[in-house]
Amino acid sequence: MTTGVLTRQLAPGIEVQIVSPADFGSAAADLVQNQLAVKANAVIGFPTGNTPLPLYHELLRRQQQGQIDLSQLQPVMLDDYLGAVGDEPISFYNWLRREFFDPAGIAASRIWRMPTDPDGIDEACRRYEQGLVERGGVDLQLLGLGLNGHIGFNEPGSPADSRTRVVKLTETTTVANAAYWSDPSKVPHSGVTMGVGTILEARSIGLLVNGAAKAEILRAALLGPMTTAVPASLLRKVQKVHVVADEAAASQLG
Ligand code: GLP
């Protein structure tokens, strides 16, 4: 367990673990390690973005040290861009492979890829959900937090019972996402995401939040009204959420 952490209960079933920035990756990696300790072939949903990078670095470090066994892990995806097919560089699938799956030796055949081909996408989204069911459901869903409160690409207004589907991205999101890619003008304006309802069905959920820029929205998500206007606030509907926040992100929690 990471040392020097403060764990608080802000809402029923929502545990908030506040850590120093140096411990952030380790605290997030503990969620994965604890899950794999009870189920070696756990189905785990992985997010993209800047937030989970310390998590992936730490998981790779632990694997190299022989401290964690990822050989049976069943990874699933949270979201991607509509049209990010094949080897398209602006793709969360390829981002995850580069940052985590490939260096961890996780074969592409083990990854349940979010569909992105616009052709037949609605049916492919249904098959994606079916694939989660066939894997026995998601054991641990890891999430980042968008500046506007989105989880995955569930933008404000996304219903609590929404399923995997195509969504129109807000300008806040496309601007924030431009930071991931060398050509910001090419960031797609539509995404494909697990729905809020899909996420809430996971057996456990880890919300990872770091940096001062997320302090206000994390406060709104955990202490403000539970509303579709702040999709992350809907996580309070279920009592199985563990938040890992660094001190800057947690600074508005009182
Ligand atoms: C992106 C992704 C989310 C991610 C979030 C936060 O748009 N769709 O899955 O969790 O926004 O990103 P970051 O961690 O870079 O702040």
What are the tens digits of pLDDT across the range 59-117? 999 999 999 999 999 999 999 999 999 888 899 999 999 999 999 999 999 999 999 99
Q: Which residues are designated catalytic?
A: 79, 148, 150, 155
Using the mean position of ligand 1's atoms as its centre, give its distance from the Cα of residue 152 in Å. Answer: 7
Q: Which residues contact 107 (CB under 8 A, 6 or more apart)?
A: none
Using the mean position of ligand 1's atoms as its centre, give its distance from the Cα of residue 49 in Å. Answer: 5
What is the model's pLDDT at position 84? 94
Using the mean position of ligand 1's atoms as its centre, give its distance from the Cα of residue 173 in Å. Answer: 8
What is the model's pLDDT at position 184? 83
Using the mean position of ligand 1's atoms as its centre, give its distance from the Cα of residue 148 in Å. Answer: 10
CA–CA dist 128, 115 (Å, integer): 7
What is the model's pLDDT at position 182? 86
Answer whether residue 122 shows pLDDT above 50: yes
Residue 251 token pair: 């600074």
Contact 194, 234 (CB under 8 A): no
What is the model's pLDDT at position 107? 97
pLDDT tens readout for residues 3-18:
446 677 777 789 999 9
Using the mean position of ligand 1's atoms as its centre, give its distance from the Cα of residue 52 in Å. Answer: 9
Average pLDDT over residues 153-175: 96
**Ligand 1: nearest atom to the Cα of 47:** 9
Backbone angles phi, psi at 23, to 5 degrees: -95, 0
Answer whether residue 54 shows pLDDT above 60: yes
CA–CA dist 31, 247 (Å, integer): 18
**Ligand 1: nearest atom to the Cα of 78:** 9
What is the model's pLDDT at position 5? 62
What is the model's pLDDT at position 1? 40
Sheet containing 74-77: give its strands across.
6-11, 14-19, 241-246, 204-209, 140-143, 43-46, 74-77
Angle at 113 between CA 112 and CA 114, to 5 degrees: 120
Q: Which residues line ligand 1 (CB under 6 A)?
A: 47-51, 78-79, 144, 146, 152-153, 173, 177
Average pLDDT over residues 141-152: 97
Mutate to test the pocket of ligand 1, among 46, 50, 51, 148 (most ligand atoms within 8 A of CB): 51
2 pLDDT tier (thresholds 50, 70, 90): very low
What is the model's pLDDT at position 9? 76
The number of CA neighbours under 13 Å toward the Cβ of 138 is 28
pLDDT tens readout for residues 214-228:
999 999 999 999 999
Mutate to test the pocket of ligand 1, among 24, 48, 210 (most ligand atoms within 8 A of CB): 48
Answer whether residue 206 shows pLDDT above 80: yes
Average pLDDT over residues 175-196: 92
